[in-house]
Structure 1
Amino acid sequence: MENPLYKMFESQVGNVLDQNAPPFTQWLKPALLSVKPGSFEMEITVRKEMTNPLGLLHGGVQAAILDEIIGMTVAALDKPSPAVSINLAVDFIGKAKLGDKIIARSDVVRQGRQVINVTGELHNAEGKLIARAMSNMLQIGKK
């Protein structure tokens, strides 16, 4: 049985996620570029409210984008129950500035019975790495 969330995400490839998405996802205004089982890709434009005093993409927003794409990827897996983050480790490697388009990518590394390990990366339009994350998601056993 395929997860209905996967089908919904798949139908949104090429579009900006809209009012059917959770409020934080709507705020990000991500355009889904690719949806595959265990792997997502989306594009986000850096807006003023996403920047720090230096005009760069705020580290907290970077972490939130990574957490969001990791969560979306896990939510779309064919699992019997939802999952929540139990950790998120982020390495800030590069930078993005106001107006830049960034690409967020995720990949499931390992699916255990309860814990799902996922990586995420942010890249600029030229493919340069901005941030890398690793997260473990715990299935909570409720529909």
Structure 2
Amino acid sequence: MVKNERYKEQLVDVIQNFNEEQMESLLYYADVLNRAARNENGYHGIILREFIKPVYRVIDSRTVEARMPVRWELNNIQGVLHGGTLATFIDISMGRSLRLLYPGKYTSQLTVGLDIHYLGTGKGKEIYANIELLQCGRSVCVLECKIFNEENKLVTVATGTFKIRNAVLNETQKS
């Protein structure tokens, strides 16, 4: 308990000089950590997803749109969205797209390959991705993800290969 009190004192000292933007981020991340500790969102691994806060919409049987707010703390030293953040968004969004396109049809998935080409900068208040299922067999699915900035300029193009386990896919969904 003594160590915990020391951490609290250190946090109070650190936030004394925070501006409004920093305080908002701290409260947001503290809420994510608190919910994860209480396990409100299910399995482990949700913390990273919650930090980037993507929102999804199924477009059709092979396409999903994902959106992500661009928060200042996710930017690199040049003031644009960090490439690692983009890679995380791509990986999480492709995996989530499989879950949305095949609800309840398999037990788990694992990224086995991710190829990303950075073509522009992720700047503005939001980026969006169009994720398309290119092919899905009994145990492997391949998707393509194109990310655009607010000006509708292409930021990245990526392909991802996912191993799926215990799949029961509808023949009309497979290609």
Instruction: Tell me the TM-score normalised to structure 2 length.
Output: 0.63
Q: What are the Cα deviations for residues 68-88 of structure 1, in whole angstroms up to 9, with x where unaligned?
A: 110001123153332110010
2:165 to 103, 121, 140: 140
State whether residues 106 and 165 of structure 2, in contact with CA within 8 Å, keep that contact through their aligned partners in structure 1: no
How many residue pairs get aligned? The number is 123
- 1:41 is aligned to 65
- 2:139 is aligned to 114
Deviation at 1:54, TM superposition (A): 0.8
Taking a change above 3 Å as real, the CA distance of residues 109 and 51 of structure 1, as seen in their structure-2 partners, is same
**Which structure ranks higher in relative contact order (CA pairs < 8 Å, sequence separation ≥ 6)?**
1
Taking a change above 3 Å as real, the CA distance of residues 48 and 94 of structure 1, as seen in their structure-2 partners, is same
Higher helix share: 2
Instruction: Tell me the TM-score normalised to structure 1 length.
Output: 0.76
- 1:30 is aligned to 54
Q: What is the alpha-carbon distance in structure 2 between the residues aligned to residue 47 and residue 107 of structure 1?
A: 26
What is the root-mean-square deviation in Å for CA atoms of aligned residues? 2.1
- 1:92 is aligned to 118
Structure 2, unmatched stretches of 5+, are 1-34, 168-175
Q: Which runs of 4+ in 1 moved over 4 A?
A: none
Instruction: Kindly provide the amino acid, as one letter, of the partner of residue 88 in structure 1.
Output: L
In our comparison, the structure showing a higher alpha carbon Rg is 2
Higher strand share: 1
